Each structure stands twice: as structure tokens, then as C-alpha cells.
Structure 1
Amino acid sequence: MMNLAEIISKLWNTYRKSTWELTAFIEDTQRSINETSQKHGRIAEKLRKVRQGESVENEKSDEKTISIELSEEELDALVSVITERGEMIGEYPRLLVGMAFIYLVALFDAFLTDAFAAVLIERPEALKSKKQLTYDKILELQQKGELVEFMARREINELSYKSMADQSDYYKAKFNINLADSGVYLAALIEIRARRNLLVHNNGVVNDIYIEAVKQTKYNLGDRVEITFDYWNKCKERLNSVANFVHKSIIEKFVKENS
């Protein structure tokens, strides 16, 4: 059975590996999208020239070609399909980074939840509260040896539905770990979580909840938030800094002091 230090280190390493894989996935997929977009662009340009009666030459001398006869109606239909497809491909980068951003925040949330739950399981005295369990539930969990783990995960999971500010206050009060000491402003974490919530729950459209949570924002009510790769990468660096800080702080406060 792993001790707390091993558990926290494993969680941290898993988180780092997952964010690295996510970054590689985005970069590789973007390259594929760019290649596909360029192919469609070349096809669309050839069709445009044919439509206008211009000659079309192959870019590569060794490229195999075929000839096909199309009516004007068929040519128009083909141009329409290629154009529509090209416009669709043009949306892929935005969709890709948006989905990756949601997953990135989910990885971060999962790390915090699992890491602090591990501390509570190691330090069950920190679970003292007025929350109640039925006798049946207590006996069931006690027999399985899962009572403390259940209580710890219930408390942390309930916390995960609260605001980033409330979570930060809880971590500071319960574990003496202040997320702001990571070097990342709490306001930045609040904005990241708020933007993620917009994408998941409001199709990326700014609402009153976002405006209230993010005090200084360039967006107005009804705007659609952007998730560029630069923004995504900056968020990844910030979340990695906070996760690494939590990893080191737990080791320092709850492992080294007992060794």
C-alpha cells in the first residue's frame, strides 16, 4: 500500500504526463488540420479556374491526373460542396483548442480533488464536522474499511462544485495551503474556471455569472469567449504551476514533518 508521499507524487506525475500528451495531441492535430485545409484550398482554386475557363496545371510533374466531364450544374454543385467543406475545416482549430481547454481544466480539478482527498484520508482528524451519516451507511463502510475514504471524498467532491474562491479559502483554512502562494493570482484561476464553465454550460457566450466572477474582463455580456492556442498554453503553464505547488506543499506539510 502506497504512503501519502507516493500517492501525491504519482498523482502529480500522472497530471504532468496527461498535460504533455494533451499538448502533443493539439500540435499534431493542428498540423493535420493545416495540411487538409491546404489540400482543400488547392482543389477549390483549381475548380475556380475551371469555372472561369482558365487552364489548370499540376503543381507536381509526377502527379497523376484524371479527366472528367461535368455539366455546369454539376461543377457548381462540386464547388459548393468543396467550399462548404473548407469552411467547416476552418472551424476545426477553434473546436480543437476549446475541447482541449475543457479537458485541461478537468485534469487540474481532478488532481486537486484526488490530492487533497488523499491528505484527508491520511489525516482523518481533519474530517471533524457536523455532517451526518446513517447507522446503516456507517456499518456498511466500516465493514468494507472504506469509512474514512468515503467521508474524505464526499467532503472534497462537494467542495468541487463551489467557486474557485471558496475552494481556495477551504484549502487555506483546512490545510494551510494558499494557492496564491504558487505565484499564480487567484483571479487568474477564477477566470480560467469561469471561462471553462461558459464553454460547458453556455456555449461560450458571456453571461452575468462570468461578468460577476471576472472583475476585469475585455468581454461584454453576450460576447463569445475565445480560446486561442496561446491562451490555452498560458493556462496550462499556470495550472501546472499551481498543481506543482500543491504537490510540493503537501509533501512539505504532511510528509516531511512526520518523518
Structure 2
Amino acid sequence: MDKPILLQKKKLVKPIEQALERIEKIRLRKVNNVDEIILEGLFALGVASFEHSISDTLKTLLTQIPDKLDLKTEPITKSQLIDGNPLNQAVENKVNAISYKSLPDIIKYFTKVTDIPEKIITEDEMNQLLEIKATRNLLIHNNLMVNPIYEETAGPNKRSGNGNGGRLRINQDYLFESLVVMRTVLEKIKTELLEKYKDFTKIKAVKNLFNYIFKTPVMNFDHEFDVDEENDTISAIKRNTSHKEDLSSSERLFFDIWVAHTHGDRFEFSRGEFFGLDKNNIKKMAYLIENIYILKT
């Protein structure tokens, strides 16, 4: 049986929400600042937050639904294969490789993998983002002094350096306009993701994990737990309809560990139950422990 999909929509959009929160904090701080050094730092932080939110969203999605990875992805080194998690490393390598591409290519890949509309970003917004990214690169690498790289990458909205030998400025107005376009794009992406993955709730993820761990007709999630659909949480244990007494010793161990993490139930640990696990159940136990955070968060 294939491993279950444990993706949760709230986890998927979390990087976007964090970036939006940071962008708003930057917007509030820029009001009382006229020092260009501070404005430049706030601008660089805003752009980094925007870019990292795209990368982190990709990592979350590809890790939880690895079938979305390209048939041919970025190579994994021998040491990464031996010492690390091959899937996580493959996702990390792929996303890192994508991050070095042009912004239109990044967005094209992002919309393809997430399966949201490719035209979610308007031509005008893309042109603004191209110039914003080019300015950030110019700030980091050339002290905002206009050079051929900026001229080539800034797109139709490229600016002309004024004074001081052709140096661009990041003042309050430019910072505000940059924050607005990044916020607008991220809000649209968040809306599309929440709609596309609206069925990927915590309840669904927990049920998927439950059905993977308890591959027996005896156990039915709906007989064991109540759910709160409105708040997307698992609520009370259905002790009157539970079939836990019909489980084998190894299955009972899994169930006891499960409810200990979901409802704080205590249980007596038997060494015999643990050391009696077969190879398949040991793998299942490792998977449960690896993903047990889902039961709490």
C-alpha cells in the first residue's frame, strides 16, 4: 500500500502567510523611517520573504506529494543518499535549482506544480516583480549602481540611476510600491491554493494516516473518534463504539501510542509487544513516529 498523502492546506499556505505578516510589519516600520540604509534593509527583507515563501511552499507540496516531482529531477550526491533523507534531498535540490531560474520560469514551475492558474500574475505585476528583483540584486551585489546586468534583467519597468554616478534609490515611495505588489501577488496565490487544496484538511490527513497504520477491517476511524469539522480537529474518543479490544497485540500497541498523543491516555508498555514487531510493522512504527506531529498540530 502506498504511503498516504498527509498534506494539510493550512501547512501549505503557512509560508505565504508568514511572508504576508512580515511584509505588513515592514510596511508599518517604513512609515517612520527616512534613512535610506534602513529602507534598503527593509526592502531586501521584503523581497527575501517573498522569494522564500514561494520556495518553502514548493518544498511542502513536493515533500507531501512526491509524485509531483519531475520524472528527472536534480541529482543527489552519494553522501546525501547515504547520510540523508533521499526524498527531502531530492526536493531540496529541485527547489534550489528552480530558484536560480528567471522569475517567469519560477512562477511557471510553481503554478504547474501547484496546479493553480498560470496567469494568476498579470503582465504588469510580473514586470514590477522583475524590476524589484533586479533592484534587490543590484543592492546586494553593486551598491545600487546601475550596470548591464540590471539593464538586462529589470524588464520594461527598469529605472534610471539619478545622481551619484547612476545609483538607484530605495525611498519610502519605492519601498511601499514594492511591498504592495508583492503582497497583492502573495494574497492571490494564497487564495488559489486554499481553493485548490480545500479538501486537504487536518481531519483528512489524520484519517489517511490512521488507515495506513491500521490496515485491518476491524478498525474504522469513524468508530474510534469524533471530529469537529468546523474547527478541523479530532475531538473525543468514541469509547462505546471502539474496536480496540479486537486488535492484535501489535495493533494495540500502535493504537495505544496513537491515543497517548491525541488524548493523553496512559498505557502500559510491554517489551514483548515492541520486540515482537515484524519487519513490516517496524517500518510502520517508524513512519508513525516520523509523522506523529500531525496528531498534535
**Structure 1 residue 255 displacement after superposition:** 4.3
- The one-letter code of the counterpart of 1:197 is N
After superposition, the Cα gap between the structure-2 partners of 1:12 and 1:130, relative to the gap in structure 1 and judged at 3 Å, is closer
- The one-letter code of the counterpart of 1:248 is T
Whole-angstrom distance in 1 between the partners of 2:111 and 2:16: 20
- The one-letter code of the counterpart of 1:112 is I
Query: What does residue 272 of structure 2 align with?
Result: none
Whole-angstrom distance in 2 between the partners of 1:20 and 1:130: 36
Aligned residue runs from structure 1 range 144-155, under 5 A: 146-155=85-94
1:214 maps to which of 137, 141, 154: 154
After superposition, the Cα gap between the structure-2 partners of 1:158 and 1:27, relative to the gap in structure 1 and judged at 3 Å, is same
- The one-letter code of the counterpart of 2:173 is D
After superposition, the Cα gap between the structure-2 partners of 1:210 and 1:179, relative to the gap in structure 1 and judged at 3 Å, is farther
2:25 maps to which of 21, 25, 28: 21
**Structure 1 residue 133 displacement after superposition:** 2.6
**Structure 1 residue 220 displacement after superposition:** 5.8
* Aligned residues between the structures: 193
- Kept in 2, the 8 Å contact 1:182–1:241? The answer is no
Query: What does residue 141 of structure 2 align with?
Result: 201
Q: Cα RMSD between the aligned structures?
A: 2.8
After superposition, the Cα gap between the structure-2 partners of 1:157 and 1:130, relative to the gap in structure 1 and judged at 3 Å, is closer
Answer yes or no: is 1:118 the counterpart of 2:63: no
After superposition, the Cα gap between the structure-2 partners of 1:179 and 1:94, relative to the gap in structure 1 and judged at 3 Å, is farther
Answer yes or no: is 1:95 the counterpart of 2:37: yes
Q: State the 4+ residue runs in structure 1 displaced beyond 6 angstroms.
A: none
Whole-angstrom distance in 2 between the partners of 1:95 and 1:123: 42
Answer yes or no: is 1:229 the counterpart of 2:172: yes
Query: What does residue 102 of structure 2 align with?
Result: 163
Whole-angstrom distance in 1 between the partners of 2:68 and 2:113: 7
- The one-letter code of the counterpart of 2:160 is Y
- Kept in 1, the 8 Å contact 2:62–2:68? The answer is yes
Query: What does residue 133 of structure 1 align with?
Result: 76
Q: RCO greater where, 1 or 2, for CA within 8 Å and sep 6 or more?
A: 1
- Kept in 2, the 8 Å contact 1:205–1:223? The answer is yes
After superposition, the Cα gap between the structure-2 partners of 1:135 and 1:98, relative to the gap in structure 1 and judged at 3 Å, is closer
Aligned residue runs from structure 1 range 55-70, under 5 A: none
Moved more, 128-137 or 159-168: 128-137
State the TM-score, normalizing by the size of structure 2. Answer: 0.57
Answer yes or no: is 1:256 the counterpart of 2:196: no
Give 5+ residue unaligned stretches, structure 1.
Answer: 31-91
Identity of aligned residues (%): 22
- Kept in 1, the 8 Å contact 2:44–2:136? The answer is yes
Whole-angstrom distance in 2 between the partners of 1:176 and 1:139: 33
Whole-angstrom distance in 2 between the partners of 1:201 and 1:135: 33
Whole-angstrom distance in 2 between the partners of 1:174 and 1:139: 28
Give 1 or 2: higher helix fraction.
Answer: 1
Whole-angstrom distance in 1 between the partners of 2:19 and 2:77: 36
After superposition, the Cα gap between the structure-2 partners of 1:199 and 1:178, relative to the gap in structure 1 and judged at 3 Å, is farther
- The one-letter code of the counterpart of 2:151 is I
Whole-angstrom distance in 1 between the partners of 2:8 and 2:46: 25
Bigger CA radius of gyration: 1
State the TM-score, normalizing by the size of structure 1. Answer: 0.65
Give 5+ residue unaligned stretches, structure 2.
Answer: 1-5, 205-297
